[in-house]
Amino acid sequence: GNKCAGFVRFTEVAGTVYVYAEVTGLNPGQQHAMHIHEFGDATSTDGTKAGGHYNPEEKPHGLPSAEARHAGDLGNLQANAEGKAVYRGEFENISLAGPKNPIIGRGIIIHAKSDDGGQPVGNAGPRIGFGTIGVANPKQ
């Protein structure tokens, strides 16, 4: 019953992963948490088969400004008055397929609420959007 839809693009350049997202169907004017989760399994309607936050280094949960945080902690999307969010972020604690916390094949989850940085996972509420991080066709 969720209307959350969109895309998240990950691009890696010289050890930095740049994240760009456009997401619609969000609650107007509200923040929504976005996290990388352990698995790219989309076979459950509630997103629970994606597992927990991707945290291979076993660090505490945190917002992107925290030095010690889960590899999957991407922070919050800010929806505008129409329920659309555009997000940009830069991360050095993940890689696409390299040796530093690779994310290809994992899940990307949009949550119903904002991530407040609290333990253990930011109190972000239910999962309202899900995608699997894969390799896009560069010709499209």
Active-site positions?
35, 37, 53, 61, 70, 73, 111, 127
Q: How far is CA 13 from CA 17, 23, 55, 95, 115, in A?
A: 6, 23, 22, 10, 27
3-state SS, residue 48: helix
Distance CA 95, CA 12 (A): 7
Sequence-ordered strand ranges (E) for the chain: 5-13, 16-24, 31-37, 73-78, 85-91, 107-111, 127-132
SS3 22: strand
